[in-house]
Amino acid sequence: MSDNKVYRASTTAPVNIAVIKYWGKRDPKLNLPTNSSLSVTLSQSDLRTHTTASCSPKFTYEDSLLLNGSPQDVSGARTQACFRELRALRKKIEAENPSIPPLSTYPLNIVSENNFPTAAGLASSAAGFAALVRAIADLYELPSSPTELSRIARQGSGSACRSLFGGYVGWEMGSAVDGSDSVAYEVAPASHWPNMRALILVVSAAKKGVSSTTGMQTTVATSALFPARANEVVPRRMKEMEKAIAAKDFETFGKVTMRDSNGFHATCLDTEPPIFYMNDVSRAAIRIVEGINNAAGKTIAAYTFDAGPNAVIYYLEENEKAVAGLFKAMLGAKEGWGGNRGVAVPVNDEAMVKVESHAAAVATTLKEGVSRVILTSVGEGPMKTKDSLIDEAGEAIH
């Protein structure tokens, strides 16, 4: 009897937001960066990609991927690189054990779903590629470590390599030409510093900005500030940041996070033609964070911005009222304050009075420009799940 079985494996993978930014490639094909970077993995209760990978000798079509119900093009070099690398690892095992099914020769059918609005402009490619690679690795029963898989996910999207781990994650730029040493590593697990919170202000962008892939290439080619950032500033900050995380020193963590975000956006402005990712709403969020830190007399909140106007604000749980509570006083009417933790953020009205009188215009800009908020925290890496998005017959479950 011929084998008609549908082989399946499912996983969920998190989003990560960098505190030391990856910006610049020394090899665009392999996504090898010009500097190391460091991120915080965010909780999957709020932001995650759920992926089921399946394969079967009965699939007659080519490799396919369905994301949030829409068929995706898998012919791109990045997705193809991930498929090719994972198949090669499976082939090796098959060669050693001729009795196991030759899964590497079957077409792949992959179904993915995000639990957050794709339109929010959040870095969904990181969670997407991390989930894709982890799910196929599980389907193929590869003995690969998260480090090894991060080398593959990196080829899908650079920042995806950091989503293979939970907690506080570094990506070592490496020096090998083939990228074998450009991998992610755990700086500290989520349990080391579990009270790290993140408030994301989703800012409605009028039009789509420059993609990170294109933006970073242009920065490397034209910015005069860029070499100093990649060669001197970031290596120093990587050390400072790892030390701050080890010591749970929020003051340093916050200061370095904000300096690095501003430094990265400065190289964008220094690019020809200049790239503007932050807008007036982003800058209003910065002003509020500055106000919060001035009032506290120390750094208790830290903003960071990726290749878009959304603000991510890190703070510790004990400062929830002073930080998230203040934003809630301005943005309480927006969607998202419920979060998934079931803890209501107290509104910080007293501090709000100060903000309104000193910076009413800033508060108005925020109110007008933020479409929703996401309250989340540091979280775990990819997790296997029995919850399959593909049924036994190989059909997508809706």
Give me the residues that bind ligand DP6 (CB under 6 A), please.
Answer: 18, 21-23, 31, 37, 123, 125, 157-159, 212-213, 306-307
CB of 384 vs ligand DP6, minimal distance in Å: 24
Closer of 31 and 54 to ligand DP6 (Cβ): 31
Of all residues in the shown chain, the one whose CB is closest to ligand DP6 is 158
CB of 27 vs ligand DP6, minimal distance in Å: 11
Closer of 221 and 344 to ligand DP6 (Cβ): 221
Closer of 146 and 209 to ligand DP6 (Cβ): 209
CB of 302 vs ligand DP6, minimal distance in Å: 15
What HEC string does the chain produce?
A: CCCCCCEEEEEEEECEEEEECCCCEEECCCCEECCCEEEEEECCCCCEEEEEEEECCCCCCCCEEEECCEEECCCCHHHHHHHHHHHHHHHHHHHHCCCCCCHHHCCEEEEEEECCCHHHCCCHHHHHHHHHHHHHHHHCCCCCCHHHHHHHHHHHCHHHHHHHCCCEEEECCCCCCCCCCCCEEEEECHHHCCCEEEEEEEECCCCCCCCHHHHHHHHHHHCCCHHHHHHHHHHHHHHHHHHHHHHCCHHHHHHHHHHHHHHHHHHHHCCCCCCCCCCHHHHHHHHHHHHHHHHHCCCCEEEECCCCCCEEEEEEHHHHHHHHHHHHHHHCCCECCCCCCCCCCCCCHHHHHHHHHHHHHHHHHHHHHEEEEEEEEECCCCEEECCCCECCCCCECC
Closer of 21 and 229 to ligand DP6 (Cβ): 21
CB of 249 vs ligand DP6, minimal distance in Å: 21
CB of 240 vs ligand DP6, minimal distance in Å: 17
Closer of 103 and 130 to ligand DP6 (Cβ): 130
CB of 37 vs ligand DP6, minimal distance in Å: 5
Closer of 7 and 22 to ligand DP6 (Cβ): 22
Closer of 69 and 76 to ligand DP6 (Cβ): 76
CB of 287 vs ligand DP6, minimal distance in Å: 22
